[in-house]
Amino acid sequence: TDDLARRARRILLANWRRGFTVPAQGLYPHQWSWDSAFIALGLRHLSAVRAQRELESLFGAQWADGRVPQIVFNPAVPADAYFPGPDFWGPGARHAETGLVTSGLVQPPVHALAAWEVHRADPVTSERRGFLRRLYPRLRRWHDYLLDRRDLGGSGLVCVIHPWESGLDNSPSWDEPLGRVLPVSAATFVRRDLGHTGAGERPTDLDYGRYVRLAADYRDAGFADTLGGAAFAVEDPLTNALLSAGETALAAMAGELGADPAPHHERAAALTSSLMDLLYDPGEGLFFARDAHTKSLLRKRTVGGLVPLIVPGLPVVEELLKTARGEHFRLGELSPIPSYDLTAPDFEPARYWRGPSWFNTGWLIWHGLRGQRHAQLAGRLRDGMLDAIRLAGFREYVDPLSGTGHGSDDFSWTAAVAIDLLE
Ligand code: DGY
């Protein structure tokens, strides 16, 4: 145990870059939005200041409209180290004050949850540095952006407009809506990811052609958020559940800062009831994403459909747990939790978000189980995740059946989650 914690700490130290942590050397040489939130959860056990700076540097790149970018490009690495890099996003994505270039897309809103945990780990240092006082208004503007500008379907739920925004990039849930997107020819760009990881562990060229088309169209439209302009627009349970849980975290911060928590509780309740009304399928005992164009559910069983377990007061916890423990996910029996239905004919145990187990979604389910007072199952999941890391190392993702490691090695959020689970 001691040794595992030591190895995890070494990874976070090695991946630190003056103010932020890279997800992994080589494959991901910049700062990523939701990675930073998970990384801060681990860093808070090493250094409260470092954990605070991780989130502060990300929010330093927040756009005037409130969006928190998917990627903040590190000017110290060559522009072509990652694709699509700063040259792709161009002048429209250059921060007016800092000059930093970012991606114009966003990622799942785990930040309020992470910021609250970072504060609670060392309230004295947080108070001394004015961490919450400075971050709370920025977190509020981030959530305002999502709620005001991204409710493209007018349903009360937030849309993601690119698979990269969902965090679950090549999830089978996106196959149908993505199938309507005309791919850019693979000959027109160079995938840098394949220089670091086997093609069988990454999205396909056809997927990439569509990712590039969607990102280029959004950029060329000046990052305007309209349903008509978004060929891909889905209401996803992971993003909306995180936003609801994040509003509850903002309510706690407001209370601490002497602000009014009531509006945050109201937003959390409204999001939760929209999640229940629009994305929950009682027959399946699972949440599904919904296509904002067709208004139909995308009926693929993915780990994202279980993430609403993190929502305080969710009325269908037992139903979700029954599904999680069944044949599709085998929670508590296999090591961490697979990203996709183990029984599906298109389940692929090594291909990114089409099967492998990831440690950030494992952490979210674990955190949810603890909040919902399922301590025993939470303990089993925790032990399973730590065993998986002992077996495979700090890999980006693992085969849920064999435990074989895939993707990057020395992956920052895997290390951060391990540190948090060992505390
Ligand atoms: C990647 O490069 O695969 C990332 O998931 C994009 O955020």
SS3 for 217-234, per residue?
Answer: HHHHCCCCCCCCCCCCCE
Looking from the CA of 11 toward its CB, the CA atoms found within 13 Å total 28
Task: Return the axis-axis angle of helices 33-43 and 2-14, rounded to nearest 10°.
Answer: 130
Domain residue ranges in the chain: 2-422
Distance CA 351, CA 357 (A): 10
352 lines ligand 1 (CB under 6 A): no
169 lines ligand 1 (CB under 6 A): yes
Q: What is the pLDDT of residues 105-150, one digit of tens each?
A: 999 999 999 999 999 999 999 999 999 999 999 999 999 999 999 9
Describe the strand order of the beta sheet including 297-298 as a list of residue ranges. 159-160, 234-235, 289-291, 297-298
**Is ipTM beyond 0.90?**
no
Is 0.90 surpassed by the pTM of this model?
A: yes
CA distances from residue 348 to 31, 165, 355 in whole angstroms, order as listed: 28, 22, 5
Is 256 assigned a catalytic role?
A: no
Residues forming beta bridges with residue 297, ordered by sequence position: 290
Taking only the tens of pLDDT, the chain with its 423 residues reads 579 999 999 999 999 999 999 999 999 999 999 999 999 999 999 999 999 999 999 999 999 999 999 999 999 999 999 999 999 998 999 998 889 999 999 999 999 999 999 999 999 999 999 999 999 999 999 999 999 999 999 999 999 999 999 999 999 999 999 999 999 998 999 999 999 999 999 999 999 999 999 999 999 999 999 999 999 999 999 999 999 999 999 999 999 999 999 999 999 999 999 999 999 999 999 999 999 999 999 999 999 999 999 999 999 999 999 999 999 999 998 878 999 999 999 999 999 999 999 999 999 999 999 999 999 999 999 999 999 999 999 999 999 999 999 999 999 999 999 999 999
Q: How far is CA 256 from the centre of its chain?
A: 26
Check if 225 has its Cβ closer than 6 Å to any atom of ligand 1: no
2-422: what fold? Glycosyltransferase (1.50.10)
Cβ-proximal residues to 74 (8 Å cutoff; 6+ apart), any chain: 17, 22, 29, 30, 31
Mutate to test the pocket of ligand 1, among 22, 27, 28, 411 (most ligand atoms within 8 A of CB): 28
